[in-house]
Amino acid sequence: MKTDTDTSFKFTVLLVDDHDAYRKQLAEYLRGDGFQVIEANLTSTACAMIREGRVSLVLLDWALQNHHFSPGEPSTGLEILRTCYEVNPLLPVIAMSESELYDARDDSLLAGADCFLKKPFARLSLSVLLHRWNARLKAEKNPFTQLTAGVIKTADSVNRAYTRAVVEMVGSALRAAPKLGLSRQTVASYLASPSFS
């Protein structure tokens, strides 16, 4: 039986870097590796995308200089990190920098970034990190993982979440009932109840 129940999960990387050529090359590489990537070169653009809920992970140039500067634009990635925490405290952030002027690694990690990569870095290393985060976030959406972690409090809630996922996958409660070995009335009651208890 398939337990990866969240068929709608899409892992989207927000790549924030003000060096356009570098950002476009890195985004092209990541897309070639199968990732969905959206790009930003300004703090305001990145923060808007994060607030829209379009992002699964942020890959952030910590020493963002904003060559396309406009009044009121912060000059580092700190504002973006703060926005991540306001919107979703669990949103993963990988900071990166080539700056030699200050300790960007300690600065970003102390501010709350999950990981730091010193530019230039091996793209394969980044791919491995992103695939690991993708697997982790996908697993966290799984009702069975949520039960183990205590997010869902009862096995009944897992059954209800699993039923919802199967209905979403097959397109209707009528077709889902035989696959689940449940009556249509039971499936309907699971769909009508809250997701978590």
Q: What is the pLDDT of residues 136-178, one digit of tens each?
A: 887 777 666 655 655 556 667 777 778 888 888 888 888 888 8
- CA–centroid distance for 148 within its chain: 21
Structure confidence at residue 173 (pLDDT): 85
* Lowest mean pLDDT, pick from 6-10, 38-42, 117-121, 159-163: 6-10
Give me the residue label for tokens 């689940």: 180
* pLDDT greater than 80 at residue 9: no
Bridge partners of residue 96, in order along the sequence = 61, 117
Rounded-to-integer distance, Cα 62 and Cα 82, Å:
12
Mean pLDDT across the stretch 48-59? 93
Rounded-to-integer distance, Cα 187 and Cα 13, Å:
35
Bridge partners of residue 95, in order along the sequence = 60, 116
